[in-house]
Amino acid sequence: MTKVGNEKDKPSRLLGIGQAASYLGVEKQTMYKWVCQRSVPFVKCGRLTKFDPKELDRWIIKSTVKEIDVDIDFITDK
């Protein structure tokens, strides 16, 4: 059997609100709140709200807070 294309060519399956909540490790209520605030990427399919896992991954990366390197001696010196 030969594989045609690769994973990047394949469209991702859209997730429902419960699936997206599980994917992100949050409650469904949190997903509803984020959708109302338009803080999470989502797609409207008629009345349905769907989520692209690839877009959620990008959103997580974009939302990640970078750590800073702090010299502890500098902070504790008085």
Q: List residues bridging with 28 in a β-sheet.
A: none
Stated pTM of the model = 0.70
The domain spans of the chain are: 17-65
Mean pLDDT of 36-56: 96
User: What is the tens place of the pLDDT at every residue in 5-38?
Assistant: 455 555 669 999 999 999 999 999 999 999 999 9
DSSP of 39-73: -S--EEETTEEEB-HHHHHHHHHHHPPPP----HH
Q: In the structure encoding, which two tokens stand for residue 62, read together?
A: 């974009």
The stretch 35-51 carries a mean pLDDT of: 96
Report the candidate in 7, 18, 8 with the shortest Cα–Cα distance to residue 50. 18
